[in-house]
Amino acid sequence: MITYEQQIAVRLEQVINRMTNICQQQQRSSPMLLAVSKTRAADEVRTLLNAGVKNFGENYLQEALDKQQQLTDSNICWHFIGPIQSNKTRPIAEHFDWVHSIDRIKLASRLSKQRPPTLHPLQVCLQINIDNETSKSGFSVQEAVDAAINISQLPQLQLRGLMCIPEKRHHSPDQQQPFANLAILMATINQRLPKNIPPLDTLSMGMSNDMEAAITEGATIVRIGTALFGPRQ
Ligand SMILES: *Cc1c(COP(=O)(O)O)cnc(C)c1O
């Protein structure tokens, strides 16, 4: 019998091997591994934490807050990656280190106002609707430059970069295009940001099925759920 701990350790090793292989092939350093723990119990998070993972991503606010309550003794770096309702920004501003899913300027200004001044600035990414899908949220590529300039001025936020969830594509060469487009958009934004603003340095892109394509195009954070925890119910 193989225990849950052993299973997690094997999956983590597989994910790290995939990351190492593609990074060697591309001659680049490894991106941050963000473990996406939505729908997983606090115990499962703890198992992965004990195996050496430090960054965890959550999509549902109440579920995340409950889990954090059970893990107060850890120093996990918590990332919010799900859709945000305007009336739920305060607990996000108070209980997370990163937010990847900023899709409206109004959300950013609320998070900045509500970020406790005793904490370091909230690290944020703009979510970009890179394939222009009607079903997905995010700024359009056209809106993104002005939004970034605007949000970069907010005092309690540090605008770090861009995040995307592309349309599903099955083959790796097709998967690369939207990630390449996100990288180009970040370069464009960096040329246009005021000189006193540090350049964006974060591309949050790539999930279990497309992380090689994302790393090839410059991902600095990959968000991995299924490949670490197994299939979700
Ligand atoms: C669920 C989720 C992931 C992880 O997806 P997997 O395919 O399970 O790796 C990554 N990013 C976001 C925004 C998600 O909602």
CB of 59 sitting under 6 A from ligand 1? yes
Q: In which region does residue 166 sit, left (phi positive, over 0), alpha (psi from -120 to 50) or beta (all else)? A: beta
Single-letter amino acid, residue 42: A
User: Residue 206 domain-assigned?
Assistant: yes
The enclosing domain of 194 has a CATH number of: 3.20.20.10
User: Residue 136 domain-assigned?
Assistant: yes
CA separation for the pair 137, 189 (Å, rounded): 20
The pTM for the full model equals 0.97
User: Residue 60 domain-assigned?
Assistant: yes
CB of 100 sitting under 6 A from ligand 1? no
CB of 165 sitting under 6 A from ligand 1? yes
User: Residue 78 domain-assigned?
Assistant: yes
Residue 146, pLDDT score:
98
The ligand 1 atom at the shortest distance from the C-alpha of residue 38 is 1
Number of domain units in the chain:
1
DSSP 8-state symbol, 199? P
Residue 233, pLDDT score:
83
User: Residue 29 domain-assigned?
Assistant: yes
CA separation for the pair 154, 157 (Å, rounded): 6
Residue numbers of the domain that contains 125: 4-228
Name the residue at shortest CA distance from atom 7 of ligand 1: 208
CA separation for the pair 67, 141 (Å, rounded): 34
Residue from 170, 207, 209 whose mutation best tests the ligand 1 pocket (most atoms within 8 A of CB): 207
Q: What are phi and psi of 95, to 5 degrees?
A: -120, 5
Tell me the average confidence (pLDDT) per consecutive run of 10 residues in the chain, 233 residues long: 91 98 97 98 96 97 98 96 97 98 98 98 98 97 98 98 96 94 98 96 98 98 98 88
User: Residue 163 domain-assigned?
Assistant: yes
Residue 134, pLDDT score:
95
CB of 99 sitting under 6 A from ligand 1? no
Residue 1, pLDDT score:
82
User: Residue 233 domain-assigned?
Assistant: no
